[in-house]
Structure 1
């Protein structure tokens, strides 16, 4: 996006936006699922043999989990795994991001490969497709040290085609890759109330669900690898559209002399109510505990929203789906990134609109 002269450039015409062993053994189950099922059977058998040891066996069943990517979302997700009694091996490209989780009891390791050498269940939470590719297939990536039967869960929001590629690469190493992007924002990540959209082998879903319910209240199986990403991309496109609409509506109402808190109250008891208005209002002073109350710091960055809308644009182009409002939202968030809003929360679109009026 251009910085200043962009007003002279009109928004473009509406655009169509731009699975160790074959992952399954005989009978349709993946071998990773078979081994986990056998372990569960033995645990249940031992429960009847020695009831007194049930609690200790339950704790022992919480084998270490690797967690890579300790940003605004990942740090809270890893903390919730610790709260549920899972030993955590953690890693992040920025060492300073590891200090808090280390103080809470996680063991910090230097690389994704080291994580894979120590844990057979790994969760990744990364900013973009290139980051995911590097963390999984790079020189010090997960797949350099991954153990057969490992379960790899990626909660990043990336191109579905990259998820499919990572699943194939993991399959070659005898591991299983599942995509499980999230929705709910930093608040839900902190409180353990995220929604997970899961794609991959259905017989692996129970094992995935065991971990994800430590971090979220809704864990939904969407279908084959990549469908979790598809659901997330659709959700975030709608979120962007509704946030822009809420910002425009609030701004218009204020210009017409309405008190913003009153207008928000009316919207939230009327047909215009949406998450952007009743949970994440973009107008400063209307709600507490949201980015608009702290100069749009924290939350979900404008850069990330622009990235997700780019994914929607690309997948829409590939599937010949018409997304006129999604395309326009993409352009708006790109302009915002070029105008100094890149590191602010995406709800800063309200502030952006106000500044546009003064130019």
Structure 2
């Protein structure tokens, strides 16, 4: 009996549908070749849905997603709608409702890939971002709107439980890789939450003393990702720090068009979600020039999570092959458009 995976497909906004189409074509081909089934369940949620119905997804949306094995997400965001509506109306509720407290964002340099660094060889790191609390809490508010005394308050939330579980996850991941792990902090300037982060991380480090641990301030970490990114492997950090540093890490290898991610529920009590990091990119939407490889690499992460390790490896290898041979889009110095990248990818997978 053929194993079949039920995948919720939410292409979303901007270039989301363009890059999701490419990744789905690759997954469908691999499924045919490897002997498993993919049941795509399409959802037209996003900014256009909001314009029609006043919400980013229907009230039953999370219940519908709960019936799937994984969620494949394109992008969300539109210039005419506040991010507070688009993100908090779709992406963030999915992450939090389904306990996707781990956000994995890898960055790996491939030989032949042009980038801004003189020596990018050997960059192979993964950022483990806490994905459910931290600086992206809902606590806070505005006072005195429209008056000279107006102010805003935003409360960061750091729980022992949250820090322990993300650090433990990062430790287990580091043990499967090089054994090196870096914790990102700012305890010299943020006196309560970041000193608490350091304390809890140190407790977890003591339980995993076979690993090599470092603690680096976020400003110094920003410099190290440019000056010596090869010195890092697994990087664990808070919600905000992980969000920012992952963009920087992707830039060092050439483009945000390579930035894949997985929003992981490690206990598998609910579906995990896989998405590219680059966002909806409205400035190039509809032009057919978007780089689909971040979405394709996100699909590889999804296949690996679903237990299709052979297909995942083949998809990652195909992406690496395209990067090495220069079969890339304009953001990476190549000449391919989105459709050309899809054709090149399918050709590699068919060899």
Alignment TM-score, normalising by the size of structure 1: 0.25
Max Rg structure: 1
Between Structure 1 and Structure 2, which shows a larger proportion of strand residues? Answer: 2
Between Structure 1 and Structure 2, which shows a larger proportion of helix residues? Answer: 1
Q: Which has the higher contact order (CA 8 A, sep 6+)?
A: 2
